[in-house]
Amino acid sequence: MNSPTPSFYFPAPREQRFCTQCGAPLTQRIPPDDNRLRDVCEHCGAVHYQNPRNVVGVVPIWQDKVLLCRRAIEPRYDTWTLPAGFMELGETTAQGAIRETDEEAGVEIALGALYTVIDVPHAEQVHFFYLAQVLDPTLNPGPESLEAAYFSLDDIPWQELSFRTVSTTLQHYCRDVEMGEFPVRHYDVARPFPKA
Amino acid sequence: MNSPTPSFYFPAPREQRFCTQCGAPLTQRIPPDDNRLRDVCEHCGAVHYQNPRNVVGVVPIWQDKVLLCRRAIEPRYDTWTLPAGFMELGETTAQGAIRETDEEAGVEIALGALYTVIDVPHAEQVHFFYLAQVLDPTLNPGPESLEAAYFSLDDIPWQELSFRTVSTTLQHYCRDVEMGEFPVRHYDVARPFPKA
């Protein structure tokens, strides 16, 4: 913090203009032995590949109810979500799912099996949801949640859910509870959730 | 290519020194409402998050034999691998797996179900392998492969495989062939494959 603090921070967008290694302006070209355009530094030779991100979360269950969080951040501010967020470096998908549940709902869980694996190509993401049992129902939502609350499966606010990956995971869960079996479910979500 | 071409290109490493948005030097700090150190630009406010990458591939089967590729690139040059590579922006894991099979082995496949999902936290990666049937056995390996070849399950070169995710996927496949069932298998690979 040896320079003036900017008035706000924002996640760096996918579009890259300068090299992270030497600071020179980037060029778009197809590197040798590659087959698509990359952001390349013609000064130092660094190729700035970009890749999809993983979102990791849980279906947290307490006595036949599911725990949802009301989002305090964009996108989809003020809609209900399963606890989930971006996977961080150095962790597994399971560790990330536990961490996000702690950060967003403040509850301790016993993580169960991997449940849904969902490709979301338009968002350049893959989403993972684990089954989970809440160990103590006391809630302590963090700054990314307006509130956290338990919902009977009959009372899930289907019209106020945040993302297609959340609503489809909950739809699968409600059906699989009837069957008593929870196989891994893998599918694509091809289109964005309609705007509220 | 309006400037001198560097003598070689290399993938930009995780360590970032300059902002991709404005070119200013980066600082490490914990942004507001975050809880870990990030590479932050104090000039324009861009926060340069980093996330694990996905590797997508297949277990390509032709008449009870599995197709493997001998790597022509580092890491693990001259070892045998299942066709696989980094997932690209805008594609699904399935589309990436098909693309990598075409690039590395030059064969057309009918993609089957998602088979293994493997967390590799020390490499900051998640690996996905799909079952696949080879449609025409003619091989046309690309520049990333020294050769491609079919192996009976009894003749898999276990001591010359490239990665733990490849060997464990093949181990699961050999056992599941006996059972005739191929459920999704999800697990972690915690330690690097021993050096050859």
Classify burial at B13, counting beta carbons within 10 Å of its beta carbon; exposed 0-12, middle 13-18, buried 19 or more.
exposed
Q: What integer is the mean pLDDT of B58-77? A: 96
pLDDT at A86 over 90: yes
Other C-beta atoms within 10 Å of A36: how many?
A: 9
Percentage of chain A lying above the pLDDT 70 cut: 94
| Portion 148-187 of A in contact with B at CB < 8 A | 183-184, 186
Q: Which of A1, A6, A52 sits opposite B44 (nearest CB)?
A: A6
pLDDT at A4 over 60: no
pLDDT at B41 over 50: yes
Mutate one of B7, B33, B40, B89 to test the A interface: name it (highest A CB count within 10 A): B89
Nearest to A52 by CA among B48, B90, B117: B90
pLDDT at A175 over 90: yes
Work out the pLDDT band at B3, boundaries 50, 70, 90: low
Work out the pLDDT band at B192, boundaries 50, 70, 90: low
pLDDT of residue A7: 72
Q: Please indicate whether residue B63 or residue B33 has the higher confidence score (pLDDT).
A: B63
Interchain pair A31, B14: CB under 8 A: no
Q: Please indicate whether residue B8 or residue B83 has the higher confidence score (pLDDT).
A: B83
Q: How far is B65 from chain A (nearest CA, A)?
A: 26
pLDDT at B77 over 60: yes
Tens-place pLDDT, residues A28-38: 999 988 899 99
CA distance B162 to B195: 10
pLDDT at A194 over 90: no
Q: What integer is the mean pLDDT of B94-112? A: 97
How far CA B25 is from CA of A182, B18, B44, in Å, comes to 49, 4, 11
What count of Cα atoms within 13 Å lies in the side-chain half-sphere of residue B36?
8
Checking A137-140 for CB contacts under 8 A at 24+ apart, the result is: A137/A62, A137/A63, A137/A107, A138/A106, A138/A107, A139/A67, A139/A105, A139/A106, A139/A107, A140/A105, A140/A106, A140/A107
Q: Which two tokens stand for residue B172?
A: 């699961």
CA distance A122 to A136: 37
pLDDT of residue A23: 97
CB B107 within 8 A of CB B140: yes
CB contacts of A113 in chain B (<8 Å) are 186
pLDDT of residue B6: 72
> Where is average pLDDT lowest: A31-40, A52-61, A185-194, B111-120?
A185-194
Q: Which of A9, A36, A52 sits opposite B32 (nearest CB)?
A: A9
Mutate one of A16, A48, A93, A125 to test the B interface: name it (highest B CB count within 10 A): A93
| Portion 40-59 of B in contact with A at CB < 8 A | 40-54
ipTM > 0.85? yes
A117/B contact by beta carbon, under 8 A: yes
Interchain pair B11, A49: CB under 8 A: yes
Nearest to A122 by CA among A189, A57, A174, A28: A189
Nearest to B147 by CA among B85, B196, B104: B104
pLDDT of residue B33: 82
- In degrees, rounded to 5, the angle at the alpha carbon of residue B98 between the alpha carbons of residues B97 and B103 is 95
Q: How far is A52 from chain B (nearest CA, A)?
A: 5
Tens-place pLDDT, residues B137-183: 999 999 999 999 999 999 999 999 999 999 999 999 999 999 999 99
Q: In the sheet that A27-29 helps form, which strands lie side by side, from edge to edge?
A: A27-29, A38-40, A46-48, B10-11
CA distance B184 to A109: 23
